[in-house]
Structure 1
Amino acid sequence: MSNQAIDHYAERVDDDDGDRFSDAIRLLLLIAAVSGPLNEPEKLNAPRDAVAVLRAEGRLQKLDFWLRNPDYLAHELLNDYEREEEPINLELASSILDSDEPEICSIPMLRYLFGAFEYIDQAMSILAAPRLVLVVPRRTANRVLQDNYYLTAKGRAVADQATKQFPVLAWYTERAHLVQALAEATGHTVLALRKRQYLQRDYAQTPLNEPIPSIANHARARLARLRAEAEEDVA
């Protein structure tokens, strides 16, 4: 992926038009931030230039939902704050909800049977052509068990370059690391992430094949209440 291509994305990053290139660079930054090291069996079968892997499309979809919907990410941080009473979670949620991030950075997703979902084949093909991310199915004799997403050394370099060169892209990497921390606290399995997202009422009650609605107003009202309670405790 050339500098000209990254320049093109940086100019369009705030567009919400389903542009495939925008989806591709967002997914590259997400995979670069959340993918983990290859285990020994994977090293034997992974692409030769792979440096990290994200396992299962379902997991990628769940993490992408939080990246694309800052209001839902903030909602989960408030959940963690109420459960663990760690001030940092309140501060992180505040940094999202005190800004217009939930409005200008939102990229809605549809709810399918197993939660938020979007077809990503075209975006992944953009990443696969220059060998930035390679999709390798793990299969039995009869069926595909899951798709694994291998980040290559070239993909890592392009993600690092894009983040350093364009602050607007650095935001995606910063939020992706926050999403990763949330996933680690939840459990890495697709089922654990799905269960957590379905605990949010607006998400769970969205009709099938309809956009999952914003909860920014609800999250901001909740933030105000929790702040007031925290101030009372200090007083």
Structure 2
Amino acid sequence: MDLAHSSSDIGATVTSREQDAVRILLLIDGACEPVSDAERALPGLAEAVGVVRTQVRIQKLDFWLRNPDYLADELLTEYEKSGEGPLLELAGSILDSEEPEVRRYPMLRHHFGAYEPLDDALAVLRSAGLVASRRRGTINRVRQHDYFLLAAGREVARKMIREAPVFQYYVERTRLVLALADGLGGSQLKKRQYLQREYAQAARGERIGSVSARARARLEKLRAQAVIHG
């Protein structure tokens, strides 16, 4: 399964259900938090080993996985705040490569921000016994969806990483995305992503445009400043 290449932003979606399932499994494996004993006592969750709470959080973390240009630009923002050189180097490693082009999977602008239906991908994971989902709320009003990684899901994720090194990319990027999110919930992540004008101004139903050109120009400016002040 080739996750390393995509088409341009022109045209239809560039990921298949199976590609999305693999990426989401690796994201849930990397982003999940511990499961409580009370949750494990619920029907079907005895084998749960971790949980990601809310679909909004998965969607927003997935946005940075699918859009390396936005991820790099956020790293530049963090660099401007902290002055930590490794952040500038990380952003440079992304923007100096073809990663923003060949690993970019643009998402649709939905009413509540970047969105791409995950139902098909999650259905693949649930039917294989790798992930379980539970709804919180009432029959008339679902407040949130929680996604539980099952023991079989963790085993499959780790096996893929061992046997197919290409998937290590998503493991490393998930760690970087989580470090950037640093405890932010789904709604907070959404607000942060809305600060990007290309994201906020995209018409509803259209794909959110790239920021790679602007991010690369910003990188060069910050590199020049670092040399002057270095």
TM-score by length of 1: 0.91
Structure 1 residues not aligned, in runs of 5+: 1-8
What's the offset of the Cα at 1:164? Answer: 1.7
Check conservation: 2:4, 2:102, Cα contact below 8 A: no
Aligned identity (percent) is 48
Task: Report the Cα distance in structure 1 between the residues aligned to 2:148 and 2:222, rounded to whole angstroms.
Answer: 41
What's the offset of the Cα at 1:38? Answer: 1.5
- Counterpart amino acid of residue 231 in structure 1: V
Counterparts of 1:1-235 in structure 2 under 5 Å?
A: 9=1, 11=2, 13-15=4-6, 17-45=14-42, 47-184=45-182, 187-234=183-230
- Counterpart amino acid of residue 191 in structure 2: K
Check conservation: 2:40, 2:47, Cα contact below 8 A: no
What's the offset of the Cα at 1:202? Answer: 1.0
Query: Tell me, what secondary structure is at the counterpart of 1:136?
Result: strand
Query: Tell me, what secondary structure is at the counterpart of 1:111?
Result: strand
Query: Tell me, what secondary structure is at the counterpart of 1:25?
Result: helix
Q: After superposition, what is the alpha-carbon deviation per residue over 1:69-97, rounded to whole angstroms, capped at 9, x for unaligned? A: 00000010000000111111111111111
Task: Report the Cα distance in structure 2 between the residues aligned to 1:84 and 1:41, rounded to whole angstroms.
Answer: 40
Task: Report the Cα distance in structure 2 between the residues aligned to 1:112 and 1:52, rounded to whole angstroms.
Answer: 28
Check conservation: 2:73, 2:91, Cα contact below 8 A: yes
Cα-Cα RMSD: 1.4
Task: Report the Cα distance in structure 2 between the residues aligned to 1:15 and 1:96, rounded to whole angstroms.
Answer: 16
Greater shift in the superposed pair: 60-69 or 84-93:
84-93
Greater shift in the superposed pair: 15-24 or 107-116:
15-24
Q: Could you say which structure has the higher helix fraction?
A: 1
Q: After superposition, what is the alpha-carbon deviation per residue over 1:95-123, rounded to whole angstroms, capped at 9, x for unaligned? A: 11111000000000011111100111111
TM-score by length of 2: 0.92
Task: Report the Cα distance in structure 1 between the residues aligned to 2:3 and 2:60, rounded to whole angstroms.
Answer: 24
Query: Tell me, what secondary structure is at the counterpart of 2:121?
Result: helix
Q: After superposition, what is the alpha-carbon deviation per residue over 1:36-58, rounded to whole angstroms, capped at 9, x for unaligned? A: 11134433337111000000001
Check conservation: 2:79, 2:87, Cα contact below 8 A: yes
Check conservation: 1:13, 1:22, Cα contact below 8 A: no
Query: Tell me, what secondary structure is at the counterpart of 2:41?
Result: helix
What's the offset of the Cα at 1:190? Answer: 1.5
Structure 2 residues not aligned, in runs of 5+: 8-13
Check conservation: 1:24, 1:126, Cα contact below 8 A: yes
